[in-house]
Amino acid sequence: MNEIMNPSISRIHCFLSELFKRVLSAGGVADHLHGRFRVDATAWAMMVLKTQDLESEVVKVAGDRLLDYQMSDGRVVIAVDHPEAVWPTPLAVLAWQNSDAHYDAWQRAVKFLLRSTGVHWKKPDNDTVGHDTLIPGWPWIDQTHSWVTPTSLSMLALTVAGYGEHSRVTAGADLLLDRQLLTGGWNYGNSSVLGTQLRPFPETTGMALNALAGRVPREAVAPSLRYLQGCLPTLRTPLSLGWSILGLQAWSSSPAHTEKWIYETLERGSRYGGHDTASLCVLFAASLATKGLESLVRHNVD
């Protein structure tokens, strides 16, 4: 418990009250208030609900609902009629972590992550992209190239599952370092196109920093930490703010005013019908964890 923050009871109540409004009678969680079931929303809700040590039946039934979206080879997909969309698999691994009722499903999903990879090739000397296209990571869509978000989430999921020293995770770290922008940060997963460096995104930078924490020396990601520290005070969307806070927390660089910024983000969202569930949960995770997403999920395990 020493790695979990103690935000105000009223703030926790606000988060949980909003989240429970989205729990579906058939199991799982809707993407928005009065919305439809969605795999990633359900997985994120399971992760944050476990930190509160309550509503275990809601979490179990939500985990059962995820089973409907797991294919025979272990992948967990966003829709059964789109089995190529494998990117929810690491979220399901994190959600099912340490669940006896879902151990077999968890194990199949872990094995899928260990054997799956993006499509990679040796690029020609005059190629238009700046990153090394041979380093294996994980894709959004099966049989496509690897990108920062699915690689970062897969690394986190496998690390929490006990495979942090596996060669796949080590290669994922190499991929992220290769795609880090020279001035700091990450975008979707390319460093430059036609010789022009691309701009970083706060949310992907936060994800990559979470995945790399404890794996590389601080100097290797110092430009990215400076980038997030510089832009964080201006961020008021849940994914950008939440992942940026988690990224800095993972490197013990959490700023002093995060609670105030989280509150402002929630207030802005309430004016327009609220944030989507996955984004809301990322923000909730940022308000709970002090050492990044891994510390939050490991609390669920320990």
**pLDDT (tens digit per residue) in 213-261:** 999 999 999 999 999 999 999 999 999 999 999 999 999 998 888 889 9
Q: What DSSP character marks residue 134?
A: T
CA-based nearest residue to 262, from 239, 236, 243, 244: 236
pLDDT tens-digit map of 5-29 = 455 666 777 888 889 999 999 999 9
pLDDT tens-digit map of 68-85 = 999 999 999 999 999 999
Over 80: is that where the pLDDT of 296 sits?
A: yes
76, β-bridge pairs: 70
143: left (phi over 0), alpha (psi -120 to 50) or beta: left
H-assigned helices in 68-199: 89-96, 103-115, 148-158, 167-179
Q: What is the mean predicted confidence (pLDDT) over 112-140?
A: 92
Over 90: is that where the pLDDT of 193 sits?
A: no
In this structure, of 54-58, 154-158, 177-181, the range with the lowest mean pLDDT score is 54-58
Cβ 170 vs Cβ 116: under 8 Å: no
Domain contains 21: yes
Domain contains 1: no
Domain contains 4: no
**End-to-end Cα distance, the chain:** 9
Query: What's the rounded Cα separation, in Å, for the pair 23 and 55?
Result: 11
Give the pLDDT confidence score for residue 4 in this predicted structure.
Answer: 45
Over 90: is that where the pLDDT of 196 sits?
A: no
Cβ 247 vs Cβ 228: under 8 Å: yes
Report how many domains make up the chain. 1
Cβ 86 vs Cβ 98: under 8 Å: no
Give the pLDDT confidence score for residue 301 in this predicted structure.
Answer: 57
Domain contains 163: yes
Domain contains 293: yes
199: left (phi over 0), alpha (psi -120 to 50) or beta: beta
Query: What's the rounded Cα separation, in Å, for the pair 81 and 159?
Result: 30
Domain contains 13: yes
Q: What DSSP character marks residue 145?
A: -
pLDDT tens-digit map of 133-162 = 999 999 999 999 999 999 999 999 999 999
Domain contains 238: yes
Give the pLDDT confidence score for residue 3 in this predicted structure.
Answer: 42
Domain contains 53: yes
The whole domain housing 193 covers: 9-301
Over 50: is that where the pLDDT of 181 sits?
A: yes
Query: What's the rounded Cα separation, in Å, for the pair 129 and 113?
Result: 26
CATH code for the domain of 157:
1.50.10.20
